Amino acid sequence: MAVPRFSKDPDVRSVQVGVVATIIIHLLLLLLMPEMFRNDMTGIVRPTTAKPQFNIEIAPETFTQPKPPDPFKFVETNPDAPDNPPDKTNNFGAQNQQVAQEKPTPDSKSDRPAIEGQKDIQSTQIVDGRLMQPNTPKDAAPPVVTPPATQTVEAPKREQDPLTGFEKATGESKDSIGTNVAKVPERAEDVPEKVEGAKDAPLVQGATATTINIDPKRPQPRPQLVKNVRPAIFQENKIGTMNIGPVAYDAKWSNYGKYLQTMIEAIQARWDDLIAASRHYPQQGSRVSVTFVIDSEGKIATIRTVDGDAGELATNWCVTAISPSQDFSYGVWTDDMKALLGEKQELTFTFLYR
């Protein structure tokens, strides 16, 4: 096969070289273009190979409403308030109560009553008293006596009728019964003659009584019943409720609330006894905060932190009041308490010396 040769003429040869180069370039493009387009398409997602995706929307009425949280704020209730479960509250205590107060706060719907107290403390107490047997009358202050405030009077003589009849049988013993052969009249006694006097006079003759002259300008206070609750330190709350009744919180009863109330009262009683047995009293206004862990057996598992400014002795009283001994127990938790709290619960009690 004859091989084409380029012309010896430079002008003709340059044209020939250009034509050959153009043919070669076009041939290369025809061979390489399909491969180049194939590589560029690798980043494109092909519908036939992509995984299907779904976007599901559920109508609002088909949602399952979550269970409302259990009440989580403990409050100390009023034992004199009626048992009345509130409609909705986050408070729990030793009994069911609905918020109320003696003097209403107009147009107010607070879940706690209005009460005067201190601004620098946190307290949920709403009634004051002392721990004792219920329905124990409070010792009233003795009346103020101004001369002649009292006078001693002799009891009036009692009317006495002698025995009727003629034959008397009085017996020899002073305890014997005197009789006559006749019908015994009312108030008949073995007296020689009738004694004039009051028919409703006391049996004991010669008795005296002391009467108190009451000054209308200085009336004596009425005897009061002290509530069987621990002494209170109130936290000030200006905004109350428009409900009228014995002072109370919105609170729901629970075993946990009853357990905490009993526990707090026991700690208060031991703390008071420790203070009374000591001749030392801390500085007024000093505080002690104790953080501890109680387990499901009702035992104090550990004392975590103790802070305060009442001094070492007063601080030890607080710790001892909470944990009097290693084996001491406040009582085993109920099943619902274990379900709510687990096996342990951390609490912080603050003691205020006032």
Residues 43-63: pLDDT tens digits? 555 555 554 555 555 455 444
Count of residues in the chain: 354
Question: Would you place residue 256 in the very low, low, confident or very high pLDDT band (cuts 50, 70, 90)?
Answer: very high
Three-state SS for 60? Answer: helix
**For helices 255-276 and 312-322, what crossing angle results, to 10°?**
140
Domains identified in the chain and CATH numbers: 254-354 (3.30.2420)
Q: What stretches of the chain show up as alpha helix (H) in DSSP?
A: 10-40, 255-276, 312-322, 335-341
Percent of the chain residues past pLDDT 70, beyond the cut: 59
Q: Are strands 91-93 and 252-253 parallel, antiparallel or unpaired?
A: parallel
Using one digit for the tens of pLDDT, what is the confidence trace for 85-137? 998 999 999 999 999 999 999 998 899 999 999 988 889 999 998 887 544 34
Three-state SS for 338? Answer: helix
> What is the rounded average pLDDT for all residues in the chain?
78
Using one digit for the tens of pLDDT, what is the confidence trace for 144-194? 555 555 555 566 666 666 665 555 666 666 666 666 555 555 555 666 666
The DSSP secondary structure of 143-172, one letter per residue, reads PPP-SSSEEEEEPPPBPBEEPPSS-EE--S
Q: Give CA–CA dist 331/113, Å, rounded.
A: 32
Q: Residue 270 burial (CB < 10 Å; 0-12/13-18/19+)? A: middle
pLDDT at 77 over 80: yes
Question: What is the number of alpha carbons within 13 Å of residue 97 lying toward its C-beta?
Answer: 31
Write the CB contacts of 144 (distance below 8 Å, at least 6 apart in sequence). Answer: 218
Q: Give CA–CA dist 252/243, Å, rounded.
A: 17
In this predicted structure, what is the pLDDT of residue 351?
A: 94
Using one digit for the tens of pLDDT, what is the confidence trace for 222-244? 665 667 789 888 999 999 999 99
* Contact present, 257 and 251 (Cβ < 8 Å): yes
